[in-house]
Structure 1
Amino acid sequence: MKSTFVISAILGAGVLFSSLVQAAEKFVIGASSTPHGVILEHIKPKLAKQGVDLQIKIFSDFIQPNVQLVNKNLDGNYYQYRPFLNDFNARNKTNLVAVVPVHIEPFVAYSKKIKSLNELKNGATVIIPNDPVNGGRGLLLLAKLKLITLKPGFHQLKKPTDKLPTIKDIATNPKKLKIKELESAILPRMLDQVDLAALNGNYVLEAKLDLKKSLYIERGQDGTNVWAEYLVVRPEDKNKPVVQKIAKALNEPDTRQFILKQFKGEIFPAF
């Protein structure tokens, strides 16, 4: 009788444990590998204790995380700022929504061939991202550095919906720079072949480039979080408890301290 009782108790405990494991709510989130994926890995154990099974899917491009979210292959993503999200929604007639800002990355002018912008020669080759938002930000950076001027109406963004320039909006190009648009992910690999590049912060980190060697660093800390990276979900999911748990974990003081310590000033908390 005693043995039967022990076996029953063990089996019962096993069923209970299995039920608890099964009770964890799966949430598949798309992200860039760093810093987004690193930050998500940091909050994953904390969320597990709250019954959330956070499954992180890493992407190397800026389009698929939104496409997969719209198609419901993802439950959320974390890799983009609002100007990019707004542009995606407008172009695709979607309505993905930003939940909370998490961090701000730099956007930099980088070169392996020159040590100062004064060394940039006439006819030099400059590469910028080829998507409308990051490409526009690249052109704003070149304008800020007085390498080009833009047509009237373009300025550094004060709100996420401000208009961004394209190549066609260059008014003057005194140095006759050869400005080429390439996919953001491959720009760091092209540094040996060009004179200057405008790079997204996450790809600087992924390529393990020395941020301190940048010719110019735009920190993006404008006080309005225009360039902050957000947790993004479908509109009908924004208020779901699981989303709110993830949002809270991403904005906790412990996450803030992790960002500051882990990335040593290369990125900044946006909360």
Structure 2
Amino acid sequence: MKLKKLLSLGLAVIISVSAVGCSSSKDKKDDIEASESKTIVVGASSTPHAEILEEIKPLVEAKGYDLDIKIFDDYVMPNTALSEGSLDANYFQHIPYLEETISQKGYKLTYTEKIHLEPMGVYSKTLKNLEELSNNSKIAIPNDPTNGSRAIQLLADNGLIKVSDHDLLTIKDITENPKNIEFVEVEAAQLPSVLEDVDAAVINTNYALSANLNPTKDAIAIESSDSPYSNILACREDNKDSEKIKVLSEALTSPEAKAFIEEKYKGSIIPSFE
């Protein structure tokens, strides 16, 4: 009888210790998850996206979240990282680029808000305007489909070439090239570094700013303000309605964000929201 009681007591102690251990482990896991849920991880280009994100950090913190900004220097990895879940959102691209990526990769991505427009510009070390381009000149353009199309359209809008009526333009869609311009396709981030090797280059504003080129002062041609290429806050379809994305979206379209964009970039970057 005593042995039976001792066995029962021992079993009770084991169960109790096991339960406490499980409870402690579960509590610790819950604490970690709770902590992680209060951090918003967003991928961004360094200029101007990360600068704008740094400015709105206090607005995000006021809502109880930390903002962890991951800098990317290319246009491919931010969407890959977002799709794989290591980012909650990214802020570096315009709508046509996101749509092209989704079409090619099959990623379940979307966006919440249009944040700002970066007018693409044509830059040159030697020319003051496009009319000065001589025959057989070289112009560097982005090698990705959407920005390449955008660059070709900008040159067409300025009368340098004529193109066929397509949504996504390539060099093959140039129907008239009276100056026999040679187009050199280069990775977008590398365009400022090849500027000295060509007669002109069509450069995205974020990379122009990083190279100390001011679009409103240094560009010899620039996109108009009605361009459809607003930069957006991208996220996954499965977290679009989450509190994290809501908080970040509201901060990026706040009066404080608008004032910062207008004051810091002085027209070279334009808010896309009221």
> Shorter-chain TM-score: which interval?
0.7 to 0.9
Deviation at 1:39, TM superposition (A): 0.5
Gaps of 5+ in 1: 1-17, 155-162
Answer yes or no: is 1:112 the counterpart of 2:116.
Answer: no
Q: Which residue of 1 is the match for residue 168 of structure 2?
A: 164
Measure, in 1, the Cα distance between the counterparts of 2:214 and 2:243: 40
Letter of the structure 2 residue corresponding to residue 82 of structure 1: I
Q: Distance in 2 between matches of 1:201 and 1:26?
A: 29
Do the aligned partners of 1:24 and 1:53 also contact (CA within 8 Å) in 2? Answer: no
Cross-structure match for 1:204: 208
Per-residue CA shift, 1:28-48, capped at 9, x if unaligned? 100000110000001112211
- Aligned partners of 2:137 and 2:36: how far apart in 1? 59
- Correspondences of 1:19-30 after superposition (within 5 Å): 22=35, 25-30=38-43
CA distance in structure 2 between the partners assigned to 1:81 and 1:90 by the alignment:
15
Which of 77, 82, 88 aligns to 1:69? It is: 82
Partner of 1:145: 158
Find the partner of 1:78 among 91, 107, 119.
Answer: 91
Aligned residues: 241
Alignment partner, residue 7 of structure 1: none
Deviation at 1:177, TM superposition (A): 0.7
Q: Secondary structure at the match of 1:51?
A: coil
3-state SS of the aligned residue for 1:80? coil
Paired residue secondary structure (2:92): strand
- 1:122 and 1:22 map into 2 onto residues whose CA distance is 61
Aligned to 2:233: 231
Please tell me whether the aligned partners of residues 23 and 51 of structure 1 are also in contact (alpha carbons under 8 angstroms): no
Code of the residue aligned with 1:34 in structure 2: it is T
Q: Which amino acid aligns with 2:129?
A: S
Q: Judge conservation of contact 1:24–1:51 (CA < 8 Å) in 2.
A: no
- 3-state secondary structure, aligned to 1:237: coil
Greater gyration radius:
2
TM-score (ref. length: structure 2): 0.84
Q: Which residue among 167, 176, 183 is the counterpart of 2:180?
A: 176
- Structure 2 stretches lacking a partner, 5+ long: 1-30
Confirm or deny: 8 A CA contact 1:102 1:231 kept in the other structure.
yes
Structure 2 distance, partners of 1:262, 1:180, is: 32
Where does structure 1 differ by over 6 angstroms across 4 or more consecutive aligned residues?
none
Deviation at 1:133, TM superposition (A): 0.2
**Residue 62 of structure 1 aligns to a residue in which SS?**
coil
Kept in 2, the 8 Å contact 1:24–1:48? The answer is no
Aligned to 2:265: 263
User: What are the within-5 Å matches in structure 2 for residues 113-128 of structure 1?
Assistant: 113-128=126-141
Percent of aligned positions that are identical: 41
CA offsets, 1:232-264, max 9 Å, x none?
Answer: 000010110111011001111111111111112
Q: Which amino acid aligns with 1:79?
A: F
Give the Å deviation of 1:24: 6.4
Could you tell me how far 1:99 is from its partner in structure 2? 0.5
Q: Which residue of 1 aligns with 2:63?
A: 50
Amino acid at match of 1:235: E
For residues 194 and 145 of structure 1, the distance between their equivalents in structure 2, rounded to whole angstroms, comes to 19
Q: Once the 2 structures are TM-superposed, how far is the Cα of residue 214 of structure 1 from its aligned partner?
A: 1.1
* Cα shift at 1:226: 2.2
Root-mean-square deviation over aligned CA pairs = 1.7
**CA apart distance, 1:49:** 2.2
User: Pick from 114, 137, 140: which aligns with 1:101?
Assistant: 114
On the 8 A contact 1:143/1:150 being kept in 2, the answer is yes
The answer for the alignment partner of 1:14 in structure 2 is none
1:250 corresponds to:
252
Distance 1:120 1:23, change over 3 A: closer
Q: Which residue of 1 aligns with 2:222?
A: 217
Tell me how far apart the structure 2 counterparts of residues 23 and 114 of structure 1 sit (CA, whole Å).
52
| Contact residue 141 and residue 185 of structure 2 kept, 8 A | yes
